[in-house]
Chain A
């Protein structure tokens, strides 16, 4: 069974640009969440989606947005990039509501560098 797949793995953007990151959850998982990891702030929650509905959002500016599609794939978008947005962005999925579905699995992450 394939794991959580994130694309792209690495990208470099310029300040002011926007970026879209993609996440394909484990087959059958309907909950997808996003986290930002930086050396200074550690792992911080961005948002969580279940069946195309955002159930929770972290304390990030409105430049950070996301969505989930009917096939449970998710995207997150960051507009007007700032240098401080450089981070590893991690996607996670879980099979909430399924037998043994309460384990949260992470992808390999998307490394974003803003220059």
Chain B
């Protein structure tokens, strides 16, 4: 079965410190990979995506993600966390064949303490 795993339910980090939110995928082919952020009572906000090319992808609000094909991982990173980054983060994979759907991880809650 195709799946996306986010092994950490919650990540805690101090403001100003670097953060990493982990994601691994088990999806056949060469899926597109996405990161979304969800604030309370809101929809999903697009952060960044990997389609092909450079393994380091830069996105919105200073976030970046590193794609590693051999480890089938797509970890989200930020060099310096802000309290306002506290939210729920979702990793997702999309296959451009006949499925036309995003396969989501279970989400990781990021808590940045002042």
Tell whether A and B belong to one assembly. Answer: yes
List the interface of chain A (C-beta within 8 A of B).
4, 6, 31, 33, 35, 42-43, 45, 48, 50, 55-56, 58, 90, 92, 102-109, 111
List the interface of chain B (C-beta within 8 A of A).
32, 34, 36, 41-46, 49, 51, 90, 92, 94, 96, 98-104, 106-107
CB proximity of B27 to chain A, nearest CB, Å? 13
User: Within the complex, which residue of A102, A105, A109, A111 is in contact with B51, where a contact is CB–CB below 8 Å?
Assistant: A102
Residue of A nearest to B6 (CB): A42
Q: If the complex has contacts A90-B43, A104-B94, A107-B43, are A42 and B106 also in contact, measured as CB distance less than 8 A? A: yes
How many Cβ-Cβ contacts under 8 Å join chain A to chain B? 55
Residue of B nearest to A107 (CB): B43
Which residue, of A31, A50, A102, has the highest number of chain B Cβ atoms within 10 A? A102
Q: How far is the CA of A43 from the CA of B101 in the complex (A)?
A: 11
- The interface residues of chain B, by DSSP majority, are classed as strand
Q: Is the CB of A106 within 8 A of B98?
A: no
CB proximity of A91 to chain B, nearest CB, Å? 9
Q: How far is the CA of A35 from the CA of B102 in the complex (A)?
A: 9
What are some 21 contacts across the A-B interface (CB < 8 A)?
Answer: A4-B43, A42-B104, A43-B104, A43-B107, A45-B101, A45-B102, A45-B103, A56-B98, A56-B100, A56-B101, A90-B43, A90-B44, A92-B44, A102-B49, A102-B51, A102-B96, A104-B46, A106-B36, A106-B43, A106-B44, A108-B43
Q: Is the CB of B104 within 8 A of A48?
A: no
